[in-house]
Chains A and B, each alone.
Chain A
Amino acid sequence: MKKARYVMWAALAAFVGVLALTAAGCGGSSGGSSDGGGDTGALPTKIGPGEGALDLIAWEGYTEDQWVKPFEQQTGCQVNAKYAGSSDEMVTLMRQGGGGQYDMVSASGDASLRLIAGGDVQPVNVDLIPGYQDFFEPLKSPPHNTIDGKHYGVSLQWGPNTLLYDTEKVTPAPTSWSAIYDPKYKGEITVPNNPIQIADAALYLSTTQPDLGITDPYELNQDQFDAAVNLLKQQKPLIKKYWGLASDEIDLFKNGDVVLGASWPYQTNTLQADNVPVKDTIPSEGATGWADTWMLSAKAKHPNCAYEWMDWITRPVPQAQQAIFFGETPANTKACAEMDKIDKGSCAKYHGDADQAYFDSIKFWKTPLADCGNGQTDCKDYTAWQQAWTEITG
């Protein structure tokens, strides 16, 4: 009996230990204060010697060995990457501990303006980055990273959010976003757990309910916003799960739990490589999308390595490697030839040869602001979007 008591106490001790560890894990971060000061001092005119390290915040799949290892060998800058699951998380990480914990972030358009407004990032001298000259024209000075002629980072890759479906269970193949609002697929649909998803609903409503007058899915007045939120509330009973990480959505499709989902091309690539019968499509209503920028922290500790990174990651070969790995379109137009060298036909497949019309058909993520962009200032800002999203998914 004594032995049994002993075992019980050991279990209790282990349990307390686990609790302590959990608490330690949760208590790591406290709110940071970021005082402005993005554009102090002149831009550098040459890249100095590297500092030996580079701390990055990136999307999953953006810092793969195939293009990070050669960079480390050439520059001696050791890359430490932290994956973030959403734009909100990227902004928070950039600000935590007063900023300066990370040198760079691969921010999408809905995070980049917030970072610029918060003084969390600094302008860069694009003359030091040779790849810039070969950028796809709309990405040289796009509104999501260039303000008053100042470039807050360099464009990286872009692409559309797609409709992913199981080719065996969804017939005929869907051509409209209406599929993810269709009760026919109740309990077999997944969408990202991200407030920016409201824009997808708004985009769908802009064609199905033209009376609402939605012209930009990120600039919504009260009526338009309410309609989009209502649509998402009606959609909720149809949702199996709101996915957080790309790998979650991959699991859901692989195990047959869902047959339809809002997705990125990365998931399609991974699932198809695993012989799961899926395909993706850009529905007739068009699609939302992302255009990512490597941005430089206002308090970067390794600015020279950061410039080396911007130089490297915008060259044709790493651009092509990343484009094929993730399934997105490179900013550097010279990457197209490299893509076909690695995998014949991949340039056309991932729109490496895209024209302005294709680019314009995608509604790129941007931060919703009260300013509607048409003189009105009654649009719902991002705080309202976040609150509404909590209500929808709560």
Chain B
Amino acid sequence: MTSGVESAGRPSWAARRRLSAVFWRRGWLRGLLLLLLPLAFFALIYLAALVVLLISAFWSVDPLTTELVRTWNLDNFKTVFTEPTYRTIAVRTIGIAAAVTVTDAIVALPFAYFMARLASPRMRALLFVLVLLPLWASYLARVYAWRLILAKEGALNWTLDRLGLPTLDIAYSNWAMWIVFSYIWLPFMILPVYAAIERIPDSFLEASTDLGAKGWRTTRSVVLPLAFPGLVAGSIFTFALTLGDYITPTLVGGASSQFIGNVVYANVGIANNVPFAAAYATVPLLVMALYLVVAKRLGAFEAL
């Protein structure tokens, strides 16, 4: 306690002294107090919601009145896993999430390397701003902007046409979704990769050079393995965020672009079939759980 406290009234000062003494003697109490609010929040809002979701997946609705029927059955899960339509949608969602993750990894690695190792402090600050700047704008505004860019008579085709190149017909397609997702989640890949590369001691790179390794060999044997946990950490973001999205598919997707999220949204908001939505929502939950287990094995959580 510093001078600021001493200037306060005597009794309150003594009480504070006593309180801080209690906290000092019982360290666990301090920890509990710090964690109480976030833990309560986590348990009540997050876990409780998940549990309710899982339970309702075993119920069903009356088709005519759409009233909830609380009898236990596995019909929803049967539909999810046997109907080819839902399998197609799940495979599409996971496939595009994987494609977006790989794309972001390829783009982020050299960028993060430049930022961490080659850029001057001034340049680095500028690049940080550039990476984070899009996050300040609304997600919706950015997706709508892409819709205008990719439209048949949009900015992209206008430019291609001016350059005398053939125009592209990729608006409202899975290609459009891939581009937009890759753009939107890129900062979440760059930041952890940057953190990982920044942590590599200079001496490692010098040692590699001393041993006669050229640039490519150093990259492959020193930089890449040490940046890998960062890549995996970033991939958790890009993969999970793509997996759960339903806005981008709605806005820039085409005739065959439904995601798991779109089916869930339609079942809750339009068909009023919450149990089926819950059952289908367990698919990304399982995929993500699996992904996290693998990521942990690969050391992703050491890079955070």
Contact = CB atoms under 8 A, between A and B. Distances in A.
Interface stretch (A46-54, A87-95, A157-165): A87-95
B166 to A, nearest CB: 16
B187 interface: yes
B67 A244 contact: no
**B interface, over-half SS:** helix
A391 B85 contact: yes
A387 B56 CA distance: 21
Contact of B152 (A7, A239, A256): A256
B107 interface: no
A269 B175 CA distance: 32
A207 interface: no
**A interface, over-half SS:** helix
Given A31-B61, A236-B255, A391-B85, A15 B237 contact: yes
A18 B274 CA distance: 23
B171 A257 contact: yes
- Range for the number of chain B residues in contact with chain A: 35 or more
A92 B61 contact: no
B283 interface: no
B272 interface: yes
B271 A255 contact: no
B88 A394 contact: yes
B126 to A, nearest CB: 13
Interface string B128-145: 100010010001000000
A325 B188 CA distance: 45
Interface in B114-155: 124, 128, 132, 135, 139, 147-148, 151-154
Interface stretch (B97-105, B191-199, B205-213, B285-293): B191-199
Interface string A296-312: 00000000000000000
Nearest to B272: A92
17 contacts: A4-B128, A8-B192, A23-B49, A27-B49, A31-B68, A91-B272, A92-B271, A95-B66, A236-B255, A240-B255, A251-B147, A255-B151, A255-B154, A390-B85, A391-B85, A393-B256, A394-B86
Interface of B: 49, 56, 61, 63-68, 85-86, 88-89, 124, 128, 132, 135, 139, 147-148, 151-154, 169, 171-172, 187-188, 191-192, 194-195, 198, 237, 244, 250, 253-256, 258, 263, 265, 268-272, 274-275
